[in-house]
Amino acid sequence: MSDLKYWLGFSKIYSIGSVLLTRLLNHFESIDQCWHATTADLLEIERFSPKIIEKFHEEKKTLGDLDKLEEEILRKNIQVITFDSNDYPYYLKQIYDPPIALFLKGSLKECDPEKCLAVVGSRKSSSYIKEVLKKIIADLRGTDITIVSGMALGVDSCAHSAAIANNLTTFAVIGSGFDNIYPKQNKGLFEEIIQNNGAVISEYFPDAQPAPFRFPRRNRIISGLSQGTLVAEAGLNSGALITASLCLEQNRELMCIPGQVTNPNTDGIYKLIKEGAVVITNAKDILNHFGWQKNNLNESLNKNVKIKFLDNERKIYEILNLESKTFDDLINESKLSAQDLMTALTSMELNGIITQMPGQMFVKNINY
């Protein structure tokens, strides 16, 4: 890749995005000629104003030696996929302003580009939506669908982890460089994604900090890689709504998981649903909408899970079937002694039937 250093140079210059670079490439024969274009040459190209040209030349001077720029990337074992490469994701290339270069850890080879699903949502996600999302992704097990998200806390992390747990490929698109993984507590997840044949992707150089303005920019990549975007909890000011808007601009499918109406993090969800987003309540909805149905789909889509209850557990299960309850609520409604109730709850929690939440609140897991 003798031209790599020029692609890297352009990807670090803010005055020239992929739209203007495409104009340059249509005018010149090669990327190096684009880089060395004179002011007179650039003035002949539409949309290259004197102000843009001046900024372009100034930024080139600040970059210094392009060979050293290339050496830095290669030394850190980071793959680079440039816009002209055959490996550049096809659907991402179709958006208005695709990245000039993608920096990559892991592999894109395990992905069918026709079957990518973006999953986004609130960083402060509820236990309810996490259980729903885990169930939906678990029921996609056995398909060749790739889950794409942003490796943020909350919904993003849940989606990546659920994909890995169910042998699905997952891609994370981050809003920083690889030297500054954000959030720091997801460094383990970062490694796990790569180790499980997935990929972590960034359009930023390794030293780029996780600045607030970079996250809305990375959202266009999340939706751009995908056939559709599934929003799982989002308040009216959530960044997930930015991704939803980009999804529609890119002419992709927008879907939402309806949540508890008392949760303010569902206000954005119901706004999107009222505006026409597809409602998703299970994996079948996704598969049928895209025509992705597989014969070897997890059997749990087609039959209910059979639960073997011990003494007193069925009574508790039926009480929790409609809503979560506190320990005191369960004492009053089940008429069990505190000791018998505690024994049954412990057994049910160990078997994954229920989850204990803060404040001694118990909730039935969505899988059951």
Report pLDDT digits (tens) over 173-222: 999 999 999 999 999 999 999 999 999 999 999 999 999 999 999 999 99
Q: What is the pLDDT of residues 331-356, one digit of tens each?
A: 999 999 998 999 899 888 888 888 88
Tell me, what's the pLDDT at 358?
Answer: 76
pLDDT of residue 306: 55
Q: Same domain for 297 and 318?
A: no
Domain range holding 342?
Answer: 313-364
Decide if 96 is inside a domain.
no
Could you say which of 74, 103, 135 is where a domain stops? Answer: 74
Let me know if residue 102 belongs to a domain. Answer: no
* DSSP β-ladder status, 146-149 and 169-173: parallel
- Convert the pLDDT of each residue in 112-157 to its tens digit: 999 999 999 999 999 899 999 999 999 999 999 999 999 999 999 9
Strands 361-364 vs 325-326: parallel, antiparallel or unpaired = antiparallel
Is residue 41 domain-shared with residue 171, that is, in the same domain?
no
Task: For residue 64, give both structure tokens.
Answer: 């210094």
Distance between CA atoms of residues 204 and 201, nearest Å: 9
Residue 159 has pLDDT above 80, yes or no: yes
- Beta strands 354-357 and 361-364 are antiparallel
CA–CA gap between residue 360 and residue 159 (Å, rounded): 26
Q: Residue 46 carries which DSSP code?
A: T
Q: Return d(Cα 230, Cα 247) in angstroms, integer.
A: 10
Angle at 167 between CA 165 and CA 168, to 5 degrees: 105
44 & 136 share domain: no
What backbone torsions phi and psi does residue 356 show, to the nearest 5 degrees? -90, 125
Query: pLDDT value at position 304?
Result: 45
Peptide linkage before 183 cis (omega within 30 of 0): yes
Give residue for tokens 């930023």. Answer: 204
Number of residues that this document lists for the chain:
368
Do 132 and 270 lie in a common domain? yes
Q: How far apart are CA 278 and CA 98, in angstroms?
A: 26
Question: Do 268 and 322 reside in the same domain of the chain?
Answer: no
Are both 234 and 335 inside the same structural domain? no
CATH number at residue 238: 3.40.50.450
Same domain? For 293 and 326 the reply is no
